Amino acid sequence: MEWLEASTENCPVQRTLDIVGEKWTLLILRDAAAGVRRFDDFHRHIGLSEAVLSDRLRKLTAAGILTTVPYREPGSRSRNAYRLTRKGWDLWPVLVALRQWGDMYAPEPDGPVLDIRHEECGAPVRVVVECSTENVPLTPRDVSARPGPGARRRD
């Protein structure tokens, strides 16, 4: 079966985008990875409406990407803080890749807004696609992509 003969209804990219493929959702994930935990901090930093933020946080929690942790400020009602789960942290390379692409193709005139470096040696961090056996970086010319066992024929 060739790629164009395969159905896209069970495509993993499409399934992922159904969960996180919206601008505000990715910005919430960006902030959560940077340590933002509280609703008011997300709201203030990202600048989206409370209704949209509530909806996105609820969806990310339902998807198991965020988890809630109750907290209470003295004299206030109990609230929830939001933390990335393992599933959420597994999206971190996607966020770094988006930042890397943005710095290259939609750069700020004054330079990168975020400088991500390896804590141990101080070198810049970058996302690469590599061979799982040889651990060498690959380009699109180095790989082949064909329908896998879960592919279904297009109707």
Q: What pLDDT is stored for residue 1 in this prediction? A: 78
Percent of the chain with pLDDT over 90: 83
Checking 15-21 for CB contacts under 8 A at 24+ apart, the result is 19/59, 19/63, 19/65, 20/60, 20/65, 20/91
Identify the CA nearest to 65 among candidates 104, 8, 124, 21: 21
Q: What pLDDT is stored for residue 110 in this prediction? A: 96
* pLDDT confidence bin for 145, thresholds 50/70/90: confident
pLDDT (mean) for 18-43: 97
pLDDT (mean) for 49-63: 97
- For each of the domains in the chain, give its residue range(s) and CATH number, in order of start: 3-142 (1.10.10.10)
Report how far residue 46's alpha carbon sits from residue 28's, in angstroms, rounded to the nearest whole number.
8
Q: What pLDDT is stored for residue 82 in this prediction? A: 98
- What is the pTM (predicted TM-score) of this model? 0.88
79-134 pLDDT tens trace: 999 999 999 999 999 999 999 999 999 999 999 999 999 999 999 999 999 999 99
Identify the CA nearest to 35 among candidates 81, 87, 91: 81
pLDDT of 9 strictly over 80: yes
Average pLDDT of the residues of the chain: 94
